[in-house]
Structure 1
């Protein structure tokens, strides 16, 4: 989505929802961020959610009507769009990878993670591989020295590049980082045009890149690093509104159940999402399902917080930002919400 279209979408959302972003705009007392979460969603308040994938899952699984009473979905995703929507007070929940909550905090936006999803056996089911441009020889991570590498600060792919360099014993000075947005086919096109020699590419782009350019010498290599984090995060002002906090809690529960439905209904998901919604072929959808593995949604975020802290410290060192505490990014009141809903649904 272009910036112009994004701003138009945000303006429309603000108009339709009446979202002021100020939790106490109606004079109601704020809900403390350490108060118990309300468990009943009142009539009236709605949250705006940028989570298009889960929206489709809820519709396919027949659960959409249960959340439509308190959720309005926005066709927004990814860190930059979500953060801008938060700043415009037009969004309450965003679905992103590991980096946007960190980056948002560094830019002065107060956010909290309220749900986390990972992959079982993540090293065998990575989200990204390192795409290697035709004519470039990179077979191991040590071969990255001196190469032009696509880099997107503030996004998951950018953090992955820094982690890969760290694992290889290299620094930013040992390579040439080329700043490019990681949206759409930008990285694939940059590799094909040899604008960069290495770029992290994910999803069906891996399959399509090799199918189209392997005859010219294009390859991919694994990076061997966990890249499977997926979060729902929210501006703290939404959590300070008791009605919205209750709706966010209910959405997190529905989100958890939806992730398991996706995993246990692969045929329906391929047809309903990858083919009908995303316009992919059935074989592309099957490839994505096969390579995704199974979701891991835990009621204990301790390990996730520890990994997040390591990421923060690496990024802070490389970007000059202040080290923040990962535990402060997580709202632990939500820690077991999705996992408990999954358990209840399995009974």
Structure 2
């Protein structure tokens, strides 16, 4: 009987090890799912989603809806990540499956080579009455209308919703970038408020919920409304996560639970204020309730048509103003989740102009 050479035995063992590792990795990742295939209903036990969704995380836990995820077999690894820059960085490092953002990050992910899909759309029921942002004006600076922006220094972040809003405001005012000075400044926490207070900029889009605090902190500070709808709210995910059958099934369950949590917050404003703005953001009870009152109720649109139309308009504007390639935003949304949301919302889906 011939004995194989030692090198051949070692090589065969190495190939077997690699095969086993590859098989394990494939099992862990789950079967591949075509983006045109129906979302699976059954979640393999222990399927994990890595989610950067801190606001809805607090609501899901406060409402007890986290039990529905557990019962569905979904395990969530929560990450304190939201917003475009941090989420795209986490996507590139493969540390995150999905993150809560406005609509702009999905565009910049595409423009910078990171494939993502929007799987959740939310709207504000009365978007012009309850804007996400107002234009904060530095103390001593006179801006009472959009026309007054001419010649002003405006805080600007190209890859964030605030940056897109600035461009839309200029467009509405009949101004161009040449008529103002755009000051590159990433909006991170209170950075825009601090820039206004120190007069590093004259104008900056700041969260409407923070205007009261801004005015109190800096005597002479003011703010004006933009008159522009800015309520886009999405959950976007790595495309490869949506193409993973196990994760896609888990996401189907999560989107349904997230929808219910959004509607629960409308019906339980005090509990919502405590769960997120007090316990997570550290506001006192009065300020937390004030913030929730300025948020306005959120809803789930019966159809994503209007949201996609608005996203396309924004993409076209940014392509022109920031020299990006033209983009068909239909490639960035996974409309299989549209029905999941609508069914979870039931009779509370939003129709008409608000959608």
In the TM superposition, residue 44 of structure 1 has moved relative to its aligned partner by: 3.2
Q: With the length of structure 1 as denominator, give the TM-score of the two structures.
A: 0.89
Unaligned runs of 5+ in 1: 1-19
Secondary structure of the residue that 1:150 maps to in structure 2?
strand
State the partner residue of 1:319. 322
User: What's the CA shift string for 1:278-301, capped at 9, x where partnerless?
Assistant: 210222112112111111211300
State the partner residue of 1:10. none
State the partner residue of 2:313. 310
Q: Give the Cα separation in 2 of the matches to 1:320 and 1:303.
A: 25
Q: Give the Cα separation in 1 of the matches to 2:63 and 2:181.
A: 46
2:134 is equivalent to residue 132 of structure 1:
no
Question: Hey, which bits of structure 1, 4+ residues long, moved more than 3 A?
Answer: 23-29
C-alpha change, 1:272 and 1:188, in structure 2 (3 Å) is same
Unaligned runs of 5+ in 2: 1-21, 350-355
Q: Give the Cα separation in 2 of the matches to 1:224 and 1:184.
A: 24
State the partner residue of 1:90. 95
2:65 is equivalent to residue 63 of structure 1:
yes
| Contact 1:47–1:92 (Cα < 8 Å) also in 2 | yes
Q: Give the Cα separation in 2 of the matches to 1:29 and 1:72.
A: 21
**Which residue, 222, 233, 236 being the options, matches 1:233?**
236
Q: With the length of structure 2 as denominator, give the TM-score of the two structures.
A: 0.87
In the TM superposition, residue 46 of structure 1 has moved relative to its aligned partner by: 0.9
In the TM superposition, residue 236 of structure 1 has moved relative to its aligned partner by: 0.8
Q: Give the Cα separation in 1 of the matches to 2:118 and 2:174.
A: 31
Q: Give the Cα separation in 1 of the matches to 2:85 and 2:150.
A: 29
Q: How does 1:266-305 map to 2 (within 5 A)?
A: 266-305=269-308
In the TM superposition, residue 24 of structure 1 has moved relative to its aligned partner by: 5.0
User: What's the CA shift string for 1:93-143, capped at 9, x where partnerless?
Assistant: 110011000110000111110000010110110010000011111111011
State the partner residue of 1:242. 245
Q: How does 1:205-220 map to 2 (within 5 A)?
A: 205-213=210-218, 215=219, 217-220=220-223
> Please, which moves more after superposition, 177-186 or 273-282?
273-282
2:348 is equivalent to residue 342 of structure 1:
no
User: What's the CA shift string for 1:196-224, capped at 9, x where partnerless?
Assistant: 000000043211111122x3x21100000
User: What's the CA shift string for 1:211-263, capped at 9, x where partnerless?
Assistant: 122x3x21100000011010001111011110000001110000000000111
Q: Give the Cα separation in 2 of the matches to 1:123 and 1:195.
A: 29
Secondary structure of the residue that 1:91 maps to in structure 2?
coil
Q: Give the Cα separation in 2 of the matches to 1:48 and 1:189.
A: 32
State the partner residue of 2:352. none
2:104 is equivalent to residue 99 of structure 1:
yes
Q: Give the Cα separation in 1 of the matches to 2:334 and 2:116.
A: 9
> Please, which moves more after superposition, 81-90 or 303-312?
81-90
Q: Which has the larger radius of gyration?
A: 2
Secondary structure of the residue that 1:46 maps to in structure 2?
strand
Q: Give the Cα separation in 1 of the matches to 2:37 and 2:50.
A: 22
| Contact 1:257–1:345 (Cα < 8 Å) also in 2 | no
**Which residue, 202, 206, 223 being the options, matches 1:201?**
206
C-alpha change, 1:48 and 1:26, in structure 2 (3 Å) is closer
Secondary structure of the residue that 2:167 maps to in structure 1?
helix
The total of aligned residue pairs comes to 324
